[in-house]
Each structure stands twice: as structure tokens, then as C-alpha cells.
Structure 1
Amino acid sequence: MLESSPLASQSEARHVLARLTEFFTDEGTPWSRRLWDIGSLLSLEELWEAGDWHARGVLSQAACDWQRAELRTLTGPDVGLGERELRKELTSLLSVPLPEPSPARRRLREVIDHARPGYLDRWASAMNGSPAPGPERFARTVAAHLLDLGWSATHLRSWAARLTADQADLMRIATSAADLARRTPGPYHVLAALSGVPRRDLAESLPHWLSKAEVVAWLRLHGHSTANVRPGGGFLIGVTALDPYGAAEQVRQVVERMIARSSFLRRHRGGVVPLPHMWVAGHAQPIPFRPPARGADVLSLVTEGHLYQVSEPRSRVDDALELAAPVNQSPLGPAVAGAWAAIEALLSHPDDPQEAERSGKAVAADRLAHISACSWPRAELTALAHRHAPPRPDRLSEQLARCTTNLERATCVADALAAHGPDALDFSGSRTRHSDLPAARRMAALLQDPRRVLGNVVATHRITLRRLYRTRNVVLQRLDAGGDAGGVPPHRRTVGRCGVGPGGARRTRSEPAAPGPGSARGRGTEAGRRGDRAVGRQALGAAVTGSPGPAAQGVRRVPRPGGRGRITWRRVS
């Protein structure tokens, strides 16, 4: 609440800014603290587009109905969508099928267009009301909405850093975010220079082509250094975007399409080679051509010593890792297709129900959601153990010093939180203290009510992973269906966040595993059921990349609610 005591308001503002910084930083932010989903408005847009894809035979009716039912529970409490009456109407719309064409679907379009203007302004007003939404919910809403609008994570990270440096309060954060949401895209000119240009004659005939000399002249004209720049030519492309990084991302996708085409040349195969940087007119610094990784990391490849242990016969994990290899930095199509192929290879089985019976191949997403949910408490508890840094050693510090594994450290922190709450931990000596304290509160809430908290996490992860499945279907079938892949962009920033990492780490630990129900279905599903309904936004991060996971010595352990106020660990052989 914005009108609360100055001390409480300052603490909440630091909480919001710390979480915004984490949400806008993929590389370096643990998977368990990233943003796991998209915002309400983009989710509704996705549902509206799903009706069109269903009409074209790309998405099943069961997939659309499941998506609609999940959105009904998520959008009802979202105060940014409008007054109570409008949200009640939206809930009613989401209670019935929305085929294309239909009056209900047309009305959904009207509701979305009505709710979009002023979305964050209404959230700012709600934060000034009583009772006010919590800072965690507010931070997630702001981050998701701004990213959904098209702002780049790099630009938003700089925006959050400025607010942090100015010690902005909640009101300023809210009004600044609402101001960003009201801005409209503007024109940008981006120079993508190439060092390799096969069949130059085909490029020279295009109006946006620049020769070597013209590339150097353009760089000098716009105040950029030409040191160590050796172009063979380049393209000066005009785009419309919200910020320079978003403009560069659009041009990067154009060049990636050229690179893909050049891989089919008879001579000079793959000869289109971009320079390491792009340049945006009016932006002082060059922007790396290679995009930031999407954050799908399999840490157990190093911590468990599996990186170079490649042996015959090939394992299921080897196949999955190869399928998922494009997820971090490849173009979106291969990343989405490879991500889902890896998940399906690990977590599906011939005995799974057919699409008409239940959820078809989407059951693999549900299993991975449970696995990643079970990884979430362990990842957070381990991080908190390493960041407990009181000015003077206390009892918990001494206990942690005697621990020899991360499992023991996580257990010590869980016991301390269950007994004394978040005050048991002291982050005064940690540079991430403003985000560590909210994490401690989340873990304390989990220990108090494991079923409810893990259930919410499972639901979020399931939504994200099923979105990956739908996106994969759209990507692979859009050519036959015709039209653009609407629904692909929403998953651009969530592919690789909750699926590949935690799940992949678990699978690399458990190999070699016999194929069949015991490995693909029994283990993942049983582990997930123990945590009730499991987790979501790192679509490939939990199936083939990696959180540290509950075990550090080659043994898989999964958390399960062990009664009110305690998490116990069960060995999975």
C-alpha cells in the first residue's frame, strides 16, 4: 500500500525493484527467481488467436478449452483489466467455447481492446488502495506487461537500475511503468554489416544494401568507431520498435533468415556471416549480434561430472540434449521445436492417452511441470543458504559451515525457516539482500502451507509448458495452415525458463535409466504428485538444463509436503 509507513513503503519499493531487476536479467539470475509467465492481456490475445488456429486445424478443441479454463482463474483477480463488472463479464466469456467465428469471440476482442489502455494505471491505483496487492504480485505484473508490449529486457533493466539509483518509492515506480506502457513505437534505422557476402550481385540490387565504403561512412557519420571493423557490405534496415535493443532484435531475425537461406547454397554454403555487432542510429553503443542466452542451463553437467562422460550406447539424455541444443541462442523456430522434442523424448510414453482421451502429448508438459516444481524449493533454499551472511556468525552460520553438501545446507535453512520464519536468515552482508529477503518469505510461506504454494507453482509451470507445446504445433504446422505464427512471440522469452534446466539436471543425474514407464512416466509423475500440482515458466529449463536439483551426489531427491510447516526429502533410486 503506497500510503503505509515510510519504512514499510521503502522496503516494498526495494522488493519491487530487486525483483524487476531479476526478471529483466536472464543470464545470472537463477531459474527459480525468473519470470515464469506472460501477462494477462497477452494471454487473452493468445487465446483469441487460438480460435483461429483451431479453425485451421492446428490446435485441438481440447487444447483451446484447457487454455480457456486456466485463464478464467488467472484473469478474474487482475485489477488492471478493469472494473469488477468488466472482469465478471470476462469470466463469463471464458466459461464458454470461443470458436471462430462466434459472437463470444468477437466480444472477447472488444474486451481486450478496452482493457489495454490504462492497464498499469489501474494497477497503480490499486497499489494505493486498501488492501493493496503485494509487492511480489505487482512486480510480476509490471515486468510481464512491459515485456509483452515489446520493450526489450536490456532497456527495462537499465530503467529499473535508474529507479534503484534514485531510491524511487512505489508511487514513482508505478507511474514510471505506466508511462512506459503508454509510449508508442518509433522508427529506427539499424545497420547489420556482413563479413561474408556470397553472390554479392544479388545483394547489390536491393535498395537497403550498403557497400563496404558506405558502411564505414555511415558509422563515422553517426559517431561510431570504425576500429577493427572490416565489413564486406551490409544492410541498413528501417524498423519500428519501442527501444534500440528491440529494433536490433528485429533486424537480427531478418539476418538470421538470410543465414538460414545461405546454408542451402551449392557454393559458399553458409556464407552469409554477420559482424559481431549491429549499430542503431541515435544509439551510442554497438549492440552484439549474438543475442543473450535464454537461460536454459544444465548445471549438473559440471557439478555431477557428466560434461565429458560420453559413452556408448547413447542415452536418452544425450538425444534430448542434442534436440534441445538450439534453445539458448538459435532462432525461435528451431528453439521451440527442439525444446519440445527434448521434453517429449524424455517424458512421453507409447501408453500415454490419445488426444481425444485426455491431453495427448501435453501430458509431457504436465510431468515436467511437476518435476520443475519439485526443484524450485531446493534451488531457493540452497541459494538462501549461501547468502546467509550476518555481521557476526550465528547458530545457523555455524550449522551451515559444518554441512558438506547442498542438500544438508538446504535442510538446515528449511528447518530454520520452519522454526523462526524469514527472520532466521540475515542477508545484511549479501549484495542481493533486497531479493533474498522476499525469497526467504516465499520459502517460509511454502513451509507453512506446502500444498497450496506448490500447487500454485505447478499451475503456473503447467500453463507455460503447455504454451510451449501449442507454440511448437503452430511453428511446425503454420505453413500448411497459412498465415503468420501468432502465438509464437509470447514464448520467445519463456522458452528455456522452467523446463529445460531443472528437468534436464534431474535426467542427467538419473541416467542410465531404462526406457519406458519407469523413467518417462513413473518417476516424473510420482515426484510431481508428491508436491501436489507443480511449477512453470522455464519451458525447457527443467527438462534438459539445470537447476542444481535436490541432490549433489548423483542421487535424485524430490521434495514432498511432509506435514504443515516442514518439507521432507524422499530418495528416488
Structure 2
Amino acid sequence: MVTASPSDPYARHVLARMADFFTDEGTPWARRLWDIGSVLALEELWEAGYWQAHGVLSPAACDWQRIQLGALIGPDRGLGDRELRKELTGLLKHPLPDPSPARRRLKEIIGHVRSGYLERWATAVSAPVDQRVKPERFSRTVASHLLDLGYSASYLKAWAKELYDAHATTADTAAAAVELARRQARSYDVLVALEKVPRRELAEPLEHWYGKGKVVAWLREHGHDTAGIRPGGGFVYQFTALDPFSAAEQARQMLERMTARSQFLRRDRGGVKPLSHIWVAGHPRPVPLDPPARGADVLTLVNEGHLYKVAGARSRTDDALELAAAVNRGPLAPAVAGAWAAIESLLSNPDDPKGEGERSGKAVAADRMAAIIACSWPRAELTALAHRHKPRALDELARAVAGCTTNQKRARVVAEALLAHGASALDFTGAATKYSDRPAAQRMADLVQNPRPVLNDVAGAFRIALRRLYRTRNIILHGGATQGVALEASLRTAAPLVGAGLDRIIHADYVEGLDPLDLAARADVALTLVNGETGLSVVDLLEPA
């Protein structure tokens, strides 16, 4: 039960960041959720052993995954303090081939980690304020864990807003998250209505089929408005899900399978046409058939005026955009495959290291993309902060920002203010997003004070997300499996990063004529030289020397 209370700054920070993480469309990539939770990451590692045994994933890829996970879970309070943590960290120090006693042991440990995971976090954040983990870590942990469990972002966004509006305390927020994690999935009846039904005689004998009149009657029975709805028929399926939006997503995936099959008809090819919404019994509003985009935005196409410039010779970046086009709203498997194909086509080369090393083979393309994105992160956040600095009375910083003619200059002005005065240099009183902007300002203040370790941490997070995308692609294309344990999570975390990386690659191509591999080399060098003897600023990491 949420209780109204005086404002709890820690809780306000946590809930504001959760709102960022649960907003599918609208949250800039730099403020998105870049990682999955520890429990799902362990399940993914366990699954990887199977694919290694079947030759789909290499031993080097699985070892890299295991070593990175071992480093990441160190600060995770949900893993306990004594026996459980010791057992888990010990297992992750050695390979976990399938079959092996260690892998069987890992499976048992995962069950113990999953049970009580958020309860242990609730205990950790009940400590005195000066002993708590940073709110950014807590918000990322809770958000990723709830999404990994199968809750939809739409449902969780409403949940977080309710807590925020009720001025929930940190204890309230932790308890509410625990309650969600304990909740059991339930059955939902979901109507998928079709406008066109080719070969109707094949649908009518099926138990889930509803004719035109029966579809309208079902809608009325469940309190939905039928004005303007002209179905040709439909199907009512029962799905087990944690919330109505997740049930609708399962129906959406069912529809994708149905429409894909209709592409193979000789007559009426592609003729299965669904209506524009899905209806869930017990949920008051229809759910749009088109899902929210996954956040892969390439703003350069508009900013540099290239959206409609498609005449002339095709370039590598043109091909990459087409390959990655499914990443925002396409079915999961084509979206993963296309996104990785775009990265590999731009950032791999025949002279790359061969063999089984950490940066051998195509995996190096993920690392190069991660470096490019990491170098673009400071400018993206600093520019956003420049626009959101809105004090009640115009101050010196606001006047300086107003006098800038480019985002590069705005970012530099804000970086200088943060270096001189810390996060308090920025005032978001007049900004609607102030509770999200304040932690962003602190992150940027930490960055300008000590760039290299912050950038290395961020680049590491991006590298993990993009290598996960690569592993998922291999499981789909080489393993022929579209039900991987981390398939949806892989796309959720990587899609905004793919958009950000493509944006910088295409910008460099249009503005400088710079090859993607040369941009990757520039980014790699910049991460080494930033804030050193060359005077390279965090604002200029992708600029030519």
C-alpha cells in the first residue's frame, strides 16, 4: 500500500528513472535501459552452454559472457551477502560446459537467486541514506528485473506513475516492486479481429474462430465500443501473462505468424489483414496493433536533410539502413538479424583478427559500435541538459546557452559549468522532466570530473548489450531458434543503441565522407586520449583532430 508522505528525494529519483526506462517511445537513447537483470543474465549464461555444445556459440564467446557477468554481479545486493554469493561467484570463475556438474549446479543456484531477489534489494535500500546504493543502480535493477519477468513497459510505466503521484517513499517503492515480482501470471482472453479472411473455410472449423456477428457480440459483452468496427471475423485466444499489454503482445506475435503464412498463398497472397487494434477481456481500452517503436532513432536523416535523398548510387550506409529497418517494429527474429547484419556490414573487415580470441571474428564489430556510441553519449546528454536548464530567473548559464548557435557549443558551455560548479550549476525548476534531469546532470558532472573511467564503464555496458545481440542473432540464424531466453530483452536493450550508432556513422558519412571503420578507430583513440595531454574534451570525442 502506497502512503502519501513528504517528498523522498531518493524515491523520486528512482521513480523518475523508471519512467524513463518504461517509456518505449519518447525517452532518448542516452537515458534508456541498457542492460538486463542479473537473474535473466544468469539464465542466459546457462542457456549459452547448450548452444556451445551444439556449435552455435564459440567457447570464447561463452567465456567472455561468463567473465563479464562475474564482474557485473559483484555489486548486486539481490545476490545475498554470504553463502549464495560465494557459491555463485565461485561457479563463474570457471567454464560451464554442457554437460558438467558445474552447469547443473548453476541451474540450482539460479532458482535460489530468483527466489527473494527483490526482497533482498528491499532490505538493502532500507539502510540509512548514506549507506544505500546509488538510486541509479536501484532503479536500473528493479526496472530490468520487472521487465525480464515479462511485465510490459506500458503496464510498468502506469505503475511507476501511480507511485510517483502518490509521493511513494523508498520503502513503498521497494515493497510495491516485491509485490509485482511475487504476482502470478493469469489467463487473459484476447480478441484478434481480421478485416480480410482469405480461405475462410480453413478458419471456420477452428475452435478459436469467431464469425462477424460473434466478434461484435464479444466486444459488446466485454464493454468495448463497436462503432466503426467492421470485422470479417476473428479469433479469441487465451494467453497466460502478467498484464493485459503482455497478453496483447502475445496475440500480436500470433498475428505475425498468421500474416507470414498468408504470404505463401498462391491466390490472395498476403491477404490476411487484421484490424488496427487488439482487445483484451477485462482491459477497458483496445490496444493498438502496431507496437511502440523500440527506440532506434537515426536523427541525422532529418537533421542533414537526407530522408528523401535516395536517388543515385547506393552506399554501404543505405544498405545498412535497409537491413536494420525491422529493428523498431519488426518481428523479433528479423529485427535481431537485420540489426546485427547492419552492424557487421559496416564495422567488420577481412583484416580483423581470426581465431578464438576475445576480439576475434565478427564480435569485434560489436566492440567498435560500442566505442562509437560511448563517444556520442556525452554530447547527447549535455545537449539535452542545455535545453532543459530552466531557472525561474534567467541566469548567466541560460544566457550563455541562448547565445550558442550549435549543439556542440551548447554542450561545451554546460560541460564547463559542470566542471566548475558540479551538478548544482544546472537548474531544472521550469522543466517538466526535472526529476530525470537531475540525475542526468550528476552523471555528466561525474563524467567531466573524471572522464576515462566513466566512459570506460559506459562503453563496457554498450559492449555487453551489443555482444548479446550478436549471440542472439547466432542462436536465431545458426540454431534455428526464435524462443531464446533473452531474445526480447536483447532487442529491448540493443535497439536504441543500434539507432544511436547508425546515427553517428551516417552523420560521419554525410558530413565528412568518413568510412565507418575510420570512425570506429577515431572513437577508440578518443577513449584513450580524452582529458589527457592532447586536451581532447568529452564534447569533441567524435570530431576530427
Q: TM-score range by the shorter chain?
A: over 0.9
CA–CA distance in structure 2, aligned partners of residues 106 and 76 of structure 1:
22
SS in 2 for 1:240: strand
Quick one: which of 40, 49, 52 aligns to 1:51? 49
CA–CA distance in structure 1, aligned partners of residues 245 and 393 of structure 2:
44
CA–CA distance in structure 2, aligned partners of residues 283 and 267 of structure 1:
37
Which deviates the most, 42-51 or 358-367? 358-367
Tell me by how many angstroms 1:311 deviates.
3.5
Gaps of 5+ in 1: 1-5, 533-558
Which deviates the most, 348-357 or 186-195? 348-357
Residue 309 of structure 1 is matched in structure 2 by 309
Residue 340 of structure 2 is matched in structure 1 by 340
Residues 1:77 and 2:75 are matched in the alignment: yes
Q: Deviations over 1:414-440 (max 9, x none)?
A: 000000001111100101011111100
Quick one: which of 511, 530, 536 aligns to 1:560? 530
Residue 272 of structure 2 is matched in structure 1 by 272
Which deviates the most, 563-572 or 117-126? 563-572
Tell me by how many angstroms 1:487 deviates.
3.5
- Whether contact under 8 Å (1:414, 1:566) holds in the other structure is no
Gaps of 5+ in 2: none
State the one-letter code of the partner of 1:560: V
Tell me by how many angstroms 1:398 deviates.
1.1
Residue 240 of structure 2 is matched in structure 1 by 240
Q: Deviations over 1:348-383 (max 9, x none)?
A: 111112243443101000000000001111000000
Residues 1:195 and 2:167 are matched in the alignment: no
Residue 164 of structure 1 is matched in structure 2 by 164
Q: Deviations over 1:466-523 (max 9, x none)?
A: 00000000111223xx795343233142241212x221111222226999xx724332
- Whether contact under 8 Å (2:46, 2:103) holds in the other structure is yes
For residues 37-436 of structure 1, the aligned pairs below 5 Å read: 37-130=35-128, 131-357=131-357, 358-436=359-437
CA–CA distance in structure 1, aligned partners of residues 485 and 151 of structure 2:
18
CA–CA distance in structure 2, aligned partners of residues 308 and 245 of structure 1:
35
State the one-letter code of the partner of 1:115: V
Residues 1:490 and 2:472 are matched in the alignment: no
CA–CA distance in structure 1, aligned partners of residues 39 and 485 of structure 2:
14
Supply the RMSD in Å over aligned alpha carbons: 1.9
Residues 1:572 and 2:537 are matched in the alignment: no
CA–CA distance in structure 2, aligned partners of residues 483 and 167 of structure 1:
41
State the one-letter code of the partner of 2:105: R
CA–CA distance in structure 1, aligned partners of residues 355 and 232 of structure 2:
52
SS in 1 for 2:540: strand
Tell me by how many angstroms 1:169 deviates.
0.8
State the one-letter code of the partner of 1:43: A
- Whether contact under 8 Å (2:197, 2:232) holds in the other structure is yes
- Whether contact under 8 Å (2:526, 2:536) holds in the other structure is no
- Whether contact under 8 Å (1:49, 1:487) holds in the other structure is no
CA–CA distance in structure 2, aligned partners of residues 561 and 296 of structure 1:
30
Tell me by how many angstroms 1:566 deviates.
5.8
Tell me by how many angstroms 1:85 deviates.
2.8
SS in 2 for 1:498: helix
State the one-letter code of the partner of 2:231: P
Aligned residue pairs: how many?
536
Q: Deviations over 1:5-33 (max 9, x none)?
A: x98x7111111111010000021111100
Q: Deviations over 1:192-230 (max 9, x none)?
A: 000011111111111101111110111111111111111
State the one-letter code of the partner of 1:320: A
Q: TM-score, normalised by structure 1?
A: 0.91
Residue 520 of structure 2 is matched in structure 1 by 524
Give the 3 Å change call, closer, same or farther, for CA 303–231 of structure 1 in structure 2: same
Q: TM-score, normalised by structure 2?
A: 0.95
Give the 3 Å change call, closer, same or farther, for CA 560–308 of structure 1 in structure 2: farther
CA–CA distance in structure 2, aligned partners of residues 370 and 174 of structure 1:
34
State the one-letter code of the partner of 2:453: R
